[in-house]
Structure 1
């Protein structure tokens, strides 16, 4: 038996699939256009329930290709990250993260970095209803009462609700009294107990722990910040 090689459809071909599907053509008709079996067309249409997904757009907050080109030229000219950030009206930490996650100063390439950012933005994200049974039941109850999805959305936006915390965040919150004692701060400064420790000190201690292969209570800061948005530990 002869098997066909797997076909990877381009964005233009996928767009044509959706155009033909919205015009009412059958799967067999669409598959004949691409000289493929209808079974290879069906997964692309079924993944969104037969509804055409919205066209992807780039957020105005992220770095553009032109900005990445400026970063690449600045690195080639041995400019500092701060001066590059100043020219682009961006934070120096934004430029630092961009360069670090894409190979560093010597290996940074604007086009590859831009494509990598575009591909990473498509990572699958879990639906809130898939892990929040209470919210799912609440929405189902409103649908049984003939509420429209728009009405439910507006009602949820105005209604105060509780968001469950991860188990590790709950365990750390229970251990906070042991870590901080009677202080109102988890990590007070050495010079003043009324002020939190500096970011540089936290980062330096975290690097020392990584080198020594140790785990410390400093990791609680990142976990709690991700879980509850606690910024002033």
Structure 2
């Protein structure tokens, strides 16, 4: 059973009321985003904020105003609590809403999302967990529709996706005239296949996509140096 909270060096993520728990791949996503130059923008939007993990990780490394949208009420309330107890609460904002109904005049230099996974897999009896992990409430077509309406002309959209869905999600982005600025493939260990991809889309035609990969643990099951560099400012024991 997962812990009711996850303690980082500068903040705590309580997660007992959220179906979407803190995971290693989500932490890696947050750490990687926070390390990128494009995260140093004025306004950031997190679609599907969950516990607020990504918002907090990025806030630690930037001065941005960050807005999180979360559809599930318990997760949203927990996210608000995590934000309020953090050192950056004055510039972090959480809204309980379906992103499809979100309207604002504001445009965002960076939009991030760790969206519902496993569209074609069996669902859990837990309705809240289904919202967190499946696409019944938000599919990628709807997600991209909202992104292009909210993104600054020179903005970026970063999304964490299952490796098996990478090609189809890139194609959806292309249909919305977004180009892939960067693609990072994630592995658990050198012996494993890729299990996630970080895709960064840009709101303009780009040159060649930057491609790389990150392996979380080495053959001896120790964290790799590339993982440790990204997470050392967050994990207590790095």
State the TM bucket, normalised to the shorter chain.
under 0.3
Higher helix share: 1
TM-score, length-scaled by structure 2: 0.18
Higher strand share: 2
Larger radius of gyration: 1
TM-score, length-scaled by structure 1: 0.18
